[in-house]
Amino acid sequence: MHPPDSPARPASVTLPVDELVLLAELLGELDEFLRSPAHHDVVFGALRTHVTGGGRPDAGYLIDAVQLTAAYLRRLAAVVEIEAEQAAATERVDGDE
């Protein structure tokens, strides 16, 4: 829920596929960093301290959410690219008739 003085969230957002792919890649990099053995204790501890209290999800949940969101965005980008390719192929076939 957002504060009363903030604008309402739009029902949908338009995002170019290449930006979606970039966001998925960045989240993937963030996930790798958060899970890397070299950084895990420090990052996990700092994240746990940051989210403690206030009804926020725990640090492990947030790290998992980053991973799952990255995977979802990768799949979504792939579907959008496939649909765009299919639409382009259909337009070429319809144009030949």
User: Which residue range is the domain that position 38 belongs to?
Assistant: 17-96
Domain count within the chain: 1
Q: How far apart are the first and last CA of the chain?
A: 52
The CA angle 70-72-73, to the nearest 5 degrees, is: 65
Residue 81 lies in a domain: yes
Within a domain: residue 2? Answer: no
How would residue 56 be classed by pLDDT, with cut points 50, 70 and 90? confident
Statement: residue 95 has pLDDT above 80: no
Share of the chain above pLDDT 90, in %: 2
Q: Exposed/middle/buried for 61, CB within 10 Å: 0-12, 13-18, 19+?
A: exposed
Residue 88 scores a pLDDT above 70 = yes
Residue 50 is assigned to a structural domain of this protein = yes
pLDDT at site 1: 45
Top pLDDT among 30 and 8 is at 30
**Structural domain contains residue 11:** no
In a domain, 9, yes or no: no
Q: How far is CA 3 from CA 6, 7, 12, 20, 86, in A?
A: 6, 9, 20, 27, 42
